[in-house]
Amino acid sequence: MLDDLSTRYLEFHDTDRALAAMEVDYPDGTSTGLHAHPRGQLLYAIEGVMIVRSAAGTWVVPPNRALWIVAGLEHDVRMSGAVKIRTVFIDARKIGNLPAKSCVINVSALLRELIVAAVQVPADYQEDSRDDRVMRLLVDELRESDVLPLHLPLPRDPRLKSICQALIDHPADSSTADQWGERLNVTAKTVHRLFVKETGMTFAQWREQARLLFALRRIASGERIIDVAFDCGYASQSAFTAMFRRHFGAPPSAFYR
């Protein structure tokens, strides 16, 4: 059930200050349930991995990344491992030049420490104080952070939905667009056109992204890279590692360090 925006973390939204930070810890497997916030949210965890789902798609958020969630977006957060969340709510009406869409960002060492420090800042912090400067520097670092490809957009077209759900459930499925088209009584050209129209990605790009997010969840659980590679449909660990490095600039063994 969608939480009432007027009561969800009220003390962190009902403040004159543009930023308010909080901390909350969850055990493995916990789900927050569908909810939204009237402010933008910089969702970060110093430990554990978060899988965030919304009608717009799915994001995987490891400890060296954070998710910027635009105000009002309904979302659910599921915990992979024990998760220690440190999050900052930001009033975009008072703070300009923030990301217009929800996205995963890289968390620098400085941004991490600023988020941790922000949790100790009172909701009624004084302007032009040290606390105020911490919050303003946090916003500066957020604006400078790189956006990362950790989003899996979900389509609305029912034909495409059936393909996407099958690939999410079975990422090793290597069926071609022609084969999917035959099952749905459409041409491969239609499959390709729908993927670009509905997700902004080609069929091959979307499937690779689905495999990446599946892999990130499994790696976060401590599974062997070679097992994850095979379950993602790759013939070898080296082929999987090459794909992973192409996306993230690091091998999967180093991603969560």
Q: What is the DSSP letter of 126?
A: P
Question: What are the CA-CA distances from residue 159 to residues 170, 183, 194, 231 (Å)?
Answer: 17, 10, 9, 25
Residue 107 confidence (pLDDT): 93
Residue 77 confidence (pLDDT): 95
Cβ pair 207, 172 in contact under 8 A: no
Alpha carbons 209 and 211: distance in angstroms, whole number: 5
The two structure tokens encoding residue 217? 């969840």
Cβ pair 45, 104 in contact under 8 A: no
Residue type, 250: A
> How many helices (H) and strands (E) are present in the chain, helices listed first?
9, 8
Residue with tokens 């941790």: 116
Cβ pair 85, 25 in contact under 8 A: yes
Domains of the chain: 10-148 (2.60.120.810), 154-254 (1.10.10.60)
Residue 10 confidence (pLDDT): 60
Stated as kind and residue range, the H or E segment containing 152 is strand 151-153
Residue 256 confidence (pLDDT): 66
The two structure tokens encoding residue 95? 């703070």
165 CB burial (10 A radius; 0-12, 13-18, 19+): exposed
Q: Which of 31, 29, 76 is nearest to 52 (CA)?
A: 76
Alpha carbons 85 and 23: distance in angstroms, whole number: 6
| Residues of the chain predicted below pLDDT 70 | 1-11, 256-257
Residue 62 confidence (pLDDT): 83
Residue 118 confidence (pLDDT): 97
Q: Which of 40, 48, 122 is nearest to 85 (CA)?
A: 48
The alpha carbons of the chain give a radius of gyration, in whole angstroms, of 20
Residue 11 confidence (pLDDT): 64
The two structure tokens encoding residue 238? 């080296």
Residue with tokens 């217009």: 100
Residue 2 confidence (pLDDT): 45
Handedness of CA 124, 126, 131, 137 (dihedral sign): positive
